[in-house]
Structure 1
Amino acid sequence: MTDLVNEQVLAHTYDGGSYPDAWEAVEQYRRATRYASKHNTKSGATASALDLPRSRLRTWIDEDGAPDAMRAIETARDHGWLNCEYDDSEFAGLNALVANVLSGGSITERHYRPMFTINHRGEDSHIFDALELANVPYEVVDDRDGRADEARPSDGGTVLGRVLAVLGAPVGPKADQRLELPAYLEGAPEDVRETFVYSYLENRAIPHEGKDTLTIREERNREYLKDLTQLINDVTGGGVQLGDRDIVISSSIARELGTIR
């Protein structure tokens, strides 16, 4: 499968900013800059020839500017996020990052800045491998008043947040949303589904008091918890049940997943 992240969908995360239709602005930018380069014209002549606003073209042609969505497309392409496929190493990283946002991290609503939880495994947390696979430079933020340490992108972060949102990661507070599992997991190769599940469990699965089982407790809409339970069952081969409040992973499956504890 291709086109997991394409230019047009990424551009539309900028709708309502400087340009109501960000993809239209990208297309106009490309038209205008191609024309100006081919005919060696400035913004005025290009605007007249293409019937586009000169004020817009002045920024693009005379001042070497570009729409934010165009810059994002270039950044995403440079990092290998655009048009990635299931078997690309960059997508393997993005997949784990989406799981991390759903299970503990976040993406800010205003600027799409992602923050990723560093779980109890510390330096061995999957998040570091995921960031490296996705070509994301990062910094670790600790001393957060008792909250878990976080890894935050130090370059291209807001574009990464938009890419993850395109893939299905929630933007803004998760408790306020009706969550869904990413659509790309349907029909995805087994290794993609496994990576997602193991990344999720590494963050959220905790020992069940007095038992050898593992438990996931999250304040999420019921349909999401049902789908998550089914996905974990599909990957582990069974032994996972959704109760009134918790997803409970049987002791036999928990032993097989011992490396996440």
Structure 2
Amino acid sequence: MDWDEPVIDERDLARTYDGGAYADSWAGVLDYRAVMRYASQHPDKGSYAISNAQDIPRGRVRGWVDDDGMPDAARGIETVRELGWLDATYRDDAFLALNTLVANVFSGGSIATETYTPSFALNHRDHRSHVIDALEMAGLEHEFYHEESEERATEVRPTTGGTVLGRTLAVLGAPVGPKTEIGDLTLPSYLAEAPSEVCEFFVLAYLANRAIHHRDKETVQIQEERPKSYREELAALIEDTANESVTVGPKQVTIPVAAARSLGLQPRYRKPVDARE
């Protein structure tokens, strides 16, 4: 595995968008690029000539060339590139931020099904939660929701680039929609090939939101009512990261003292928010 190669594929990102007239939204991006390349090489040609040359409907060409239009997928790719995510490798801070945000979707957040807008619940550290640092590292501004509510956890959401962030996290393997409705929920596939520090960032971000500490012992637990296969996958990732054994129970993953110490977990006695939704 080449850890210096970009992780995010622009084709996968394009396919999170509705292609409109295109069954495959990536095909729309390719047509758009072909039209704009031809137009730049033939500045004297109008939309009719370009349409004939590229065999693309004139109305579509006119919208791109004359009206500065752009397919949503092409615009999304451009935004992600400008943010520095598209070219990010496993070793780049931009990817480490995205990796942390993916972990937060699994452990304390969600991505809206229709809009792809992500929301992240703050953990016991409240406004010092690590997810805020990750959003800032990714180059995004944010705002808080439900701060005055006693019934809902305070959430943080990006104020700019929210939908492209959600789509990018989805491409990386973050679940979209209610996690309780995803029967085959699995951890991101990139973790199998990632450097150890990427896996460690993911695990520590996950545990910062979901780990339950006890006053009378150093053993740490994660309450997980998701499928057993998911609990086993999560336990294996934690075990590989800690280089110590981790056990799986009917509704939990238990991190024994040796593994907790290896991960450098600091005791706390506040139960984390329920992140099942």
Q: Give TM-score, length-normalised by structure 1.
A: 0.94
Q: Residue 168 of structure 2 aligns to which amino acid in structure 1? A: V
Pick aligned residue for 2:90 from 79, 86, 89: 86
1:176 aligns with 2:181: yes
Q: What's the counterpart of residue 65 of structure 1?
A: 69
Pick aligned residue for 2:108 from 92, 104, 109: 104
> Mind listing any 5+ residue stretches in structure 2 that lack a counterpart?
269-277
Q: What's the counterpart of residue 134 of structure 1?
A: 138
Task: Indicate how the Cα distance of structure 1 residues 240 and 145 shifts in structure 2: closer, same or farther if over 3 A, else same.
Answer: same
Pick aligned residue for 1:123 from 117, 127, 131: 127
Q: What's the counterpart of residue 164 of structure 2?
A: 159
Contact 2:108 2:209 in 1 (8 A): yes
Question: Structure 2 matches for 1:207-246, cutoff 5 A?
Answer: 207-208=213-214, 210-246=216-252
Task: Indicate how the Cα distance of structure 1 residues 16 and 29 shifts in structure 2: closer, same or farther if over 3 A, else same.
Answer: closer
Per-residue CA deviations over 1:148-197 (Å, capped at 9, x if unaligned) read 21110111110110100010000000001021111111121111110000
The count of residues paired between Structure 1 and Structure 2 equals 261
1:28 aligns with 2:31: yes
Deviates more, 1:14-23 or 1:124-133: 14-23
Contact 2:213 2:267 in 1 (8 A): no
1:258 aligns with 2:265: yes
Question: 2:121 & 2:11 partners in 1: Cα distance?
Answer: 30
Alpha-carbon distance, 1:49 to partner? 1.6
Question: 1:60 & 1:186 partners in 2: Cα distance?
Answer: 41
Per-residue CA deviations over 1:192-221 (Å, capped at 9, x if unaligned) read 110000000000011247543221112211
Q: What's the counterpart of residue 3 of structure 1?
A: 6
Q: What's the counterpart of residue 51 of structure 2?
A: 47
> Mind listing any 5+ residue stretches in structure 1 that lack a counterpart?
none
Question: 1:42 & 1:219 partners in 2: Cα distance?
Answer: 60
Q: What's the counterpart of residue 14 of structure 1?
A: 17
Question: 2:261 & 2:232 partners in 1: Cα distance?
Answer: 23
Contact 1:198 1:260 in 2 (8 A): no
Q: Residue 29 of structure 1 aligns to which amino acid in structure 2? A: Y
Pick aligned residue for 1:201 from 207, 212, 215: 207
SS in 2 for 1:9: helix
RMSD (Å), alpha carbons: 1.7
Contact 1:106 1:115 in 2 (8 A): yes
Deviates more, 1:103-112 or 1:218-227: 218-227
More helix by share: 1
Contact 2:218 2:267 in 1 (8 A): no
Per-residue CA deviations over 1:8-30 (Å, capped at 9, x if unaligned) read 11111114545321111111111
Alpha-carbon distance, 1:251 to partner? 3.1
